[in-house]
Amino acid sequence: MLLWLWQFVRPYRLRLVIAIIALIFTATLTLSLGQGIKLMIDEGFSSQSTLGLENALTFVGFIIVAMSIGAYFRFYMVSWLGERVVADIRKKLYSHLVSLPPSFFEDNLAGEIQSRVTTDTTLLQTVIGSSFSFALRNTLTFIGGLTLMFISNIKLTMIVLLVVPFIIFPLIYFGRKVKKLSRDSQDKIASVGAWAGESLQHIKVVQAFTREDMVTEQFNQAAEGAFDVALKRIRQRAALIAMVMMLVMGAVAGMLFVGGSDVIAGELSAGDLAAFVFYAIMVAGSLAAVTEVYGEVQRAAGAAERIRELLATEAEIKSPEAGVLETEPLEADDKPLIEFENMTYAYPSRPNTNALTKLNLAVQAGESIALVGPSGAGKSTLFDLLLRFRDPKGGDIKISGQSLSKWNLQDLRSQFALVPQQPVLFSANVWDNLKYGRPDATEAEVLAAVKAAHAEEFIEQLPDGYQSFLGEQGVKLSGGQKQRLAIARAILRDPKILLLDEATSALDAQSEHYVQQALNELMKGRTTFIIAHRLATVRHVDRIAVFDQGQLVDVGSHDELIESSELYRRLAELQFQLEKKA
Ligand SMILES: Nc1ncnc2c1ncn2[C@@H]1O[C@H](COP(=O)(O)OP(=O)(O)O)[C@@H](O)[C@H]1O
Ligand SMILES: [Mg+2]
């Protein structure tokens, strides 16, 4: 763990050196207080001399001042290091997380990942920013104190040392246990957080189905579970602390008895005994302190392990070393822009059912193509594959004659604008949400996109217009309004390839009519894939591809398909009947 941490501390070596110097400085001064005490007793009290007492106290005074200054630097530098290193780790972790493919987040709870970024890094911060220096300081005190003890009185030192093995072995034994328990405890807390996050986010569904009691009960169980695990850890540590304290204090008492007898017998000066007791207390205190921090360090080691695991998760989908760039000359115009070649995909969680099977389809630049078919046919999956959120299991997808895996990922995705099935807005104002796909757009461009998406009217009616804050996930808007913002955002991005996943499904008939016109305008001369359930909205596209259970069953124009495709005819008839009834 230390080796791993070192890569983050390394850039701040200089500060670390200053911190360590300050640390050694203060530890040394702390120990030299023992000499001050000896002087005070032997030169002051025992010789009944006020001058001796004054001198001794002046000496002690200097030490105290120097020690305080050292402590300032030590604390400042060490805390600075802790905060700095953890900020760096957080940054690295987050930028790594956003590079992972969407499938990673399907398999891992968002709340748990969040807890890695917040709770686990905070644990690390305590260790680097305080425990570590605390441990080091106490270790120095321990070594220094022990050396001084040996120098001043070997016999007494041996008595003290007798108990050391009794302290060290339980320390190692309990420490291992605490480490395991603390990992469990962290995991529990993370899952409690994930739990709360999910139900709070979907509070409307929770309340509409009156499941408040159930989620509360489940949350309580999770919280109690976390408490139980924590309790085990606390018990271990409490036992450890009590045991160490008893052994240490017992040894001090035994030593006082032997040393006191020696003073009475005149074999030892009172000042020497006092200084020795001082060292012994320092040594014992530092040992106790180290045991206490030891548990914390173990906890942090667990946290570091989890962060390291997360950082080591390889993105299965990433840019090749030298990927095709957007700026490179693309192939001749007569070649199709997008080609699916015998492409097959199955979700990893369902390896035996293909979501798409042996798809062959070529789309020319500027062509608009509609994907229709029952839900679950694999239409949205096709969009995921085009954006390379997932890689095909068999066959290939090419854009401009180049396999998607050969493209630089960012350049590939820059070719697209997506209007997803569930419009996604961020907790920001209207303006920022619109500019999400093109932050450098001018005001005029934004307004033109808004106009094209027929979103003008409702945005202007919002309390703060374009500055209105939309709440988390745009909760302050209706479904149709969100959809129009998502469309405007796509229009503004002005992509080569437009992906519309049921982009008008949440609109009323009138807005749909307007937005459809806007989309028709947008689709002109632009390669477009449009998924639509209402066949009326896709009549004007160049070609319609009919999907069923992952198979491309028919391709053609509306009129051709009515003639040739049984599935399309059935879908069209059903809708026609429904519309007539309405
Ligand atoms: N993340 C996923 N993991 C596993 N299976 C999925 C996932 N997303 C979709 N599927 C399954 O893949 C099939 C195709 O889904 P999808 O492409 O969303 O259909 P649609 O044509 O309605 O857009 C469905 O059977 C669906 O249950
Ligand atoms: Mg879909």
User: Cα of 419 to ligand 1 centre, how many Å?
Assistant: 17
Contact present, 70 and 22 (Cβ < 8 Å): yes
pLDDT level of residue 332 (50, 70, 90 thresholds): low
Neighbours of 468 (CB within 10 A): 16
User: Could you give the CA distance from residue 247 to residue 268 in angstroms, rounded to a whole number?
Assistant: 25
Under DSSP, is residue 501 helix (H, G, I), strand (E, B) or coil?
strand
| Angle subtended at Cα 251 by Cα 245 and Cα 253, rounded to the nearest 5 degrees | 100
Residue ID of nearest Cα to ligand 1 atom 6:
347
Query: Token pair of 396, please?
Result: 């290939």
Residue ID of nearest Cα to ligand 1 atom 27:
376
Q: Which of 485, 487, 496, 427 is nearest to 459 (CA)?
A: 485
Q: Within its chain, how far is the Cα of 515 from the centroid? A: 38
Query: Token pair of 83, please?
Result: 């905060």
* Least confident stretch, 89-98, 439-448, 513-522: 513-522
Residue ID of nearest Cα to ligand 1 atom 19:
376
Topology alike, domains 323-415+496-506+523-582 and 422-494:
yes
Residue ID of nearest Cα to ligand 1 atom 5:
347
User: Cα of 379 to ligand 1 centre, how many Å?
Assistant: 8
User: Could you give the CA distance from residue 458 to residue 483 in angstroms, rounded to a whole number?
Assistant: 12
- Determine the pLDDT at residue 383: 94
Q: Which is it for strands 497-501 and 527-531: parallel, antiparallel or unpaired?
A: parallel
381 lines ligand 1 (CB under 6 A): yes
Residue 247, amino acid: L
User: How long, in residues, is the chain?
Assistant: 582
User: Cα of 575 to ligand 1 centre, how many Å?
Assistant: 23
For the stretch 414-451, what's the b/e string if a residue is b when 16 or more beta carbons lie within 10 angstroms of its beta carbon? Answer: ebbbbbbbebbbeeebbebbbbbbbeebeeebbbebbe
pLDDT digits (tens, 9 = 90+) for 34-57: 888 888 888 888 788 888 888 888
User: Cα of 481 to ligand 1 centre, how many Å?
Assistant: 26
379 lines ligand 1 (CB under 6 A): yes
Percent of the chain residues past pLDDT 70, beyond the cut: 96
Percent of the chain residues past pLDDT 90, beyond the cut: 23
Asked whether residue 179 carries a pLDDT value surpassing 80, the answer given is no
Q: Which atom of ligand 1 is nearest to the CA of 375?
A: 22
Q: Which atom of ligand 1 is nearest to the CA of 373?
A: 21
* 323-415+496-506+523-582 CATH: 3.40.50.300
User: Could you give the CA distance from residue 388 to residue 397 in angstroms, rounded to a whole number?
Assistant: 10
- Determine the pLDDT at residue 25: 92
Better-scored residue on pLDDT, 192 or 138: 138
* Residue to mutate, 344, 381, 499, 548, ligand 1, most ligand atoms under 8 Å from C-beta: 381
pLDDT level of residue 66 (50, 70, 90 thresholds): very high
* Residue to mutate, 106, 353, 380, 548, ligand 1, most ligand atoms under 8 Å from C-beta: 380
pLDDT digits (tens, 9 = 90+) for 106-139: 888 777 788 888 888 888 888 888 887 888 888 8
pLDDT digits (tens, 9 = 90+) for 350-385: 889 999 999 999 999 889 999 999 889 999 999 999
580 lines ligand 1 (CB under 6 A): no
pLDDT digits (tens, 9 = 90+) for 482-495: 888 888 999 899 88
Asked whether residue 396 carries a pLDDT value surpassing 60, the answer given is yes
User: Cα of 392 to ligand 1 centre, how many Å?
Assistant: 14
Domain map (residue ranges) of the chain: 2-312, 323-415+496-506+523-582, 422-494
User: Cα of 181 to ligand 1 centre, how many Å?
Assistant: 39
Better-scored residue on pLDDT, 567 or 244: 567
pLDDT level of residue 318 (50, 70, 90 thresholds): confident
Residue ID of nearest Cα to ligand 1 atom 24:
376
User: Cα of 315 to ligand 1 centre, how many Å?
Assistant: 22
Ligand approaching nearest to the C-alpha of 106: 1
Residue ID of nearest Cα to ligand 1 atom 26:
376
106 lines ligand 1 (CB under 6 A): yes
List C-alpha distances in Å: 436 to 76, 223, 459. Answer: 40, 38, 17
* Averaged pLDDT, 450-462: 87
- Determine the pLDDT at residue 264: 92
Query: Token pair of 150, please?
Result: 């040996």
Asked whether residue 182 carries a pLDDT value surpassing 80, the answer given is no
Q: Which atom of ligand 1 is nearest to the CA of 381?
A: 17
349 lines ligand 1 (CB under 6 A): yes
2-312 is classed in which CATH architecture? Up-down Bundle (1.20)
384 lines ligand 1 (CB under 6 A): no
Residue ID of nearest Cα to ligand 1 atom 9:
381
pLDDT level of residue 330 (50, 70, 90 thresholds): low
Q: Which atom of ligand 1 is nearest to the CA of 547?
A: 21
Residue 103, amino acid: S
Query: Token pair of 251, please?
Result: 């040894």
* 422-494 CATH: 3.40.50.300
Better-scored residue on pLDDT, 506 or 450: 450
pLDDT digits (tens, 9 = 90+) for 527-562: 999 998 888 778 788 999 999 999 999 999 888 888
Ligand approaching nearest to the C-alpha of 102: 1
347 lines ligand 1 (CB under 6 A): yes
Residue ID of nearest Cα to ligand 1 atom 18:
380
User: Cα of 537 to ligand 2 centre, how many Å?
Assistant: 16
378 lines ligand 1 (CB under 6 A): yes
User: Cα of 381 to ligand 1 centre, how many Å?
Assistant: 6
Contact present, 167 and 287 (Cβ < 8 Å): yes
- The per-residue pLDDT of the chain, averaged, comes to 85
Under DSSP, is residue 459 helix (H, G, I), strand (E, B) or coil?
helix
pLDDT digits (tens, 9 = 90+) for 223-255: 888 888 888 888 888 887 888 788 777 877 888
Ligand approaching nearest to the C-alpha of 552: 1
Residue ID of nearest Cα to ligand 1 atom 17:
378
pLDDT digits (tens, 9 = 90+) for 206-228: 899 888 898 898 888 888 888 88
107 lines ligand 1 (CB under 6 A): no
Residue ID of nearest Cα to ligand 1 atom 2:
347
Q: Which of 117, 132, 45 is nearest to 87 (CA)?
A: 117
pLDDT level of residue 88 (50, 70, 90 thresholds): very high
Ranked by mean pLDDT, the top range of 186-190, 328-332, 399-403 is 399-403
